[in-house]
Amino acid sequence: MTAAAELLRTMQRIRAFEEALAQRADRGFQLFSLGQEAVAVGVCAALGPDDQLLTSGRSIAAALARGVDPVAVMAELLGKQTGTNRGRGGRGHLAQPSRGFFGAHAVVAGNLTIAAGVALALSMRGRGIAACMFGDGACGAGALHETMNVAAVWRLPLLLVCDNNGYSISTPQAAALAPQPLAALAEPFRMPARSVDGMDVEAVRDAAVALVAHVRGGGGPAFLECRSARYATHSTSTRETRPDSERAADRARDPIRAQQQRCEARGEADAARCAAWDAEARAAAAAALRAADAAPYPLAASVLEDVR
């Protein structure tokens, strides 16, 4: 299988996984990455096994793209004892550091300084880099400034990835953030930055590969802005505020369809093959749901465990 086809299949798995969960009445409070799959998948294609990925609370795509077991992710999202976090973290805090997924943290911008610390630990142990995904909403927070400053001064091996879907819940970017493009935030810290089409998984991957090489080579931090679009509302409990015309235009930029067309045009996979992969992805999502459903919830009596 070609690298382009692998990217396609990972995005298909994420899409199928989230859509399967979205259809569940008992899915709980979730933040989906529907439409934004290419960002996590493209970034993870540039990371190696010694690296660590941190994300915001929009975490499902990142966890799956990083290779965390979908059964354990689904179990965690449904609050089951067999989840990655024993059912204690949920969507906002998915984590499996042993798989290079240091994890999600659901405080907007709250993962940035943590990621810099992870990067420092990795650099002092002599291997691996940290990558940190965050939304454009985090770009108005002071933590980003503090993190970029220290990371630049200390030349930390840190890739900052802004998954810019254009909205902080309902607030459009123009009403909240002055810098334009957001990648320009990196300039005063003299770190390399790229702003790419976040709906094009290969563009994301290529930029990530280039920036990761800089970071891994000891050049210090780098900044990657991926201009994406989310298809669903901010969260499963948020009202839609965007006009239908805008949403339709976003849907027309579907990263999965675009990658499939690319694979077909290059002769790397035909439509039937892509459809079969999609069916596989949906079967895997259904299996993950079944496994999660069969797993036990944590005991109420365990509530004080692991508090320390």
Partner 1 sequence: MSAAAPAPRVFFREAIGRALAEAMGSDPTLVLFGQDIGRFGGAYREFTGLFERFGAQRVRDTPVAEAAMIGIGVGAAAAGLRALVSITYMDFLMLGLDPLVNYAAKACYKTGGQVRVPLVVKATAGARGQGVAHSQCIEAWLMSVPGLTVVAPATVADAYGLLKSALRHDGPVVFVDHKRLYPTAGELPTDAAEVPFGQARVCRRGDAVTLVAHAYMVRVALAAADELAREGIACDVVDLRSLAPLDVATLAASVARTGALVTVEEGQATCGVGAEVAARVREARGGEPFRVARVAALPAPVSSNPILEAACLPDAARVTTAVRTLLS
Minimum CB–partner distance for residue 30 and partner 1 (Å): 17
What is the DSSP-derived secondary structure letter of residue 240? P
Contacts to partner 1 by CB under 8 A:
52, 83-89, 93, 95-98, 102-103, 105, 107, 110, 112-122, 124-125, 142-143, 146-147, 149-150, 153-154, 305-308
Q: Between residues 119 and 281, which has the closer beta carbon with respect to partner 1?
A: 119
Q: Between residues 118 and 224, which has the closer beta carbon with respect to partner 1?
A: 118
Helix (H) or strand (E) holding 167: strand 167-168
Q: Between residues 48 and 181, which has the closer beta carbon with respect to partner 1?
A: 48
Minimum CB–partner distance for residue 4 and partner 1 (Å): 33
Minimum CB–partner distance for residue 89 and partner 1 (Å): 4
The token pair that represents 132 in the structure block: 């940190």
Q: Give the Cα separation of 280 and 13 in Å (integer).
A: 8
Cβ burial, residue 98 (10 Å; 0-12/13-18/19+): exposed
Q: DSSP letters along 282-302, please?
A: HHHHHHHHHHHHHSPPPPGGG
Helix, strand, or coil (residue 99)? helix
Degrees, nearest 5: CA angle 103-108-109 = 80
Terminal Cα distance for the chain, rounded: 46
Q: Between residues 14 and 122, which has the closer beta carbon with respect to partner 1?
A: 122
Minimum CB–partner distance for residue 257 and partner 1 (Å): 36
The token pair that represents 237 in the structure block: 């409990």
Minimum CB–partner distance for residue 150 and partner 1 (Å): 5
Q: Between residues 248 and 304, which has the closer beta carbon with respect to partner 1?
A: 304
Minimum CB–partner distance for residue 130 and partner 1 (Å): 8
Sole residue written with tokens 């077991």: 69
Q: Between residues 17 and 101, which has the closer beta carbon with respect to partner 1?
A: 101
